[in-house]
Amino acid sequence: MTTIGLIRHGSTAWNKEGRVQGHTDNSLDAEGLQQAQLLAERLSTEQWDYIYSSDLLRARQTAEVIAERLGLEITGLAPGIREMYAGLIEGTTQQERIERWGTDWKTLDLGLETLEASELRGSEVIEEIAARHPGSHILIVSHGVILRSSLRRLLPELDGTVLLNNTSITRITKSESDGSWNCELYNCARHLEKE
């Protein structure tokens, strides 16, 4: 069995402002770095063999904190698991989108990557990484929307409407016998709970 831990990056200033990030290369804020450290500490009590990251800075910074704590090198950067491209809405808040394009802005062609394209892109990368390291425990640090899209394709029975928390981990396993995926843990951020 191959185990994959899917992690959403730590928080950024744009997360707090409600701005769509997409491919914009934002860094973690102070809280995001702290969240990554708390997650790294949690993961240090578990067995992980490899760590991959999106090539965007906020995911890389999260992966670097985790890799250092676990004594791992980042195995690879995977552009295929970068966040969905958000076209003209990148950098905007909901209020700004309504002011620019009206309340029906979601029906307009604003250059966004389609959900179908992101589902295919993200799930293919996860499948490729799993095939590269069969029987291993692999962390993949990525982004909220692309992870939800990828999971929707790999595990359609999951509720893909749930927003993933910053530094949450979703653990999925792939059966070596039939190639099926199973979800053991979904959107877990217990490491962020106040003691």
Q: Count other Cβ atoms within 10 Å, centred on residue 48.
A: 18
* 143 in catalytic set: no
Q: Active-site residue among 9, 90, 113, 119?
A: 9
What is the tally of helices (H) and strands (E) in the chain? 6, 6
Q: Active-site residue among 23, 64, 83, 193?
A: 83
The H or E element spanning position 7 is strand 2-8
92: which 2 tokens?
């905007």
- Which residues are within 8 A (CB) of 48 and not within 5 positions of it... i.e. 6 or more apart? 5, 70, 72, 137, 138, 139
| Residue 70 CB-density burial (10 A; 0-12 exposed, 13-18 middle, 19+ buried) | middle
* 83 in catalytic set: yes
Which residues are annotated as catalytic?
9, 83
